Amino acid sequence: MPMRPCLLLTRPQRDSERFAQDMRAAGWQADILISPVLEIVLHPLAMQQLAAAKTLVVTSQHAVSALQGTIRQRDWPIWAVGPRTAEAAREAGFHSVMQSGGDASALLRDLLHHRPEEPILHLRGQHAAADIAQELRARGLRAESLVVYTQTSLPFSAVGCQRLQRDGDVVIAVFSPRSSRLLAEALRSCSQIRARLHLVAISNAAAEAFRGFSLARCCIAEHPDAPSMRRAILGIQAKLEP
């Protein structure tokens, strides 16, 4: 009897656990292996760092967590990059939350169209795919950025490497260009990979690090969000487990 496919998740631990639960609820029945290549370190915030801001921009739930953990004020209007980040902001007690389309490009378009009250402060990680504040300043808006968390790299786990050295299908989900690069580097040092690798990437930029890999399949999510990632993964499951 052929082995069932394994889903490999490399996001930070809590994010991977949440996505694994969502995948189970959506119908993924085979193994799920969590092997983070990043961990999130939140930075403590002081009120004076945010006092001048009239609008906050958040591009991840981690930014909301950093804000929630140290600042009591909840009356800023918040622009969130997508539905999950917007949900986190509402759960943290913010009432005026605007939701964009799921990626930095859509968020930038919305901010330029609606032109929220200035100054605008983008709460971001140390590593970011786009400099929202710089783009807004280039278009005449008063905007600054503040690093509120660090994405620290982690070594790929021995358990993960051992799974890739066995036969069978492994579906790899990558959610950012940086985590994809870290994972690709780790896999190059993982000798004698025998598994058939099926890549599901949240964007073309996230898939780029796997250029040159021997992949059984490479899928790009229809939209840069978790629901589209789930659908793409379940589509591969349907092909592997008809």
Give the total number of structural domains in the chain: 2
Tens digit of pLDDT per residue, the chain (242 long)?
457 899 999 999 999 999 999 999 999 989 999 999 999 999 999 889 998 999 999 999 999 999 998 888 899 999 999 888 999 999 999 999 999 988 888 999 999 999 999 999 999 999 887 899 999 999 999 999 999 999 999 999 999 999 999 999 999 999 999 999 999 999 988 878 999 999 999 999 999 999 989 999 999 999 888 899 999 999 999 999 86
Q: Residue 77: which domain range? A: 40-152
Check whether residue 131 and residue 58 sit in a common domain.
yes
- Can you say whether the dihedral through the CA atoms of 141, 142, 148, 153 is positive or negative? positive
CATH of the domain at 83: 3.40.50.10090
Check whether residue 186 and residue 213 sit in a common domain.
yes
Check whether residue 124 and residue 167 sit in a common domain.
no
Domain boundary among 152, 173, 200: 152
168: left (phi over 0), alpha (psi -120 to 50) or beta: left
Helices (H) and strands (E) in the chain, counts: 10, 11
Domain-embedded: residue 1: no
Q: Which spans in the chain are helix H?
A: 13-26, 47-50, 61-70, 83-91, 104-114, 132-138, 158-164, 177-188, 204-207, 226-240
Side-chain half-sphere CA neighbours of 135 within 13 A = 15
Q: What is the pLDDT of residue 103?
A: 85
Check whether residue 12 and residue 91 sit in a common domain.
no
Check whether residue 144 and residue 204 sit in a common domain.
no
- Phi/psi at 187 (nearest 5 deg)? -70, -30
Measure the CA–CA gap between 149 and 140, rounded to whole angstroms.
Answer: 27
Check whether residue 147 and residue 50 sit in a common domain.
yes
- How would you class 117 by CB atoms within 10 Å of its CB: exposed for 0-12, middle for 13-18, buried for 19 or more? exposed
Check whether residue 199 and residue 233 sit in a common domain.
yes
Q: What is the pLDDT of residue 1?
A: 46
The gap from C-alpha 57 to its chain's centroid, in whole angstroms, comes to 16
Please give the angle made by the CA atoms of 223, 155 and 36, to the nearest 5 degrees.
35
Check whether residue 140 and residue 206 sit in a common domain.
no
Check whether residue 125 and residue 201 sit in a common domain.
no
Q: What is the pLDDT of residue 2?
A: 57
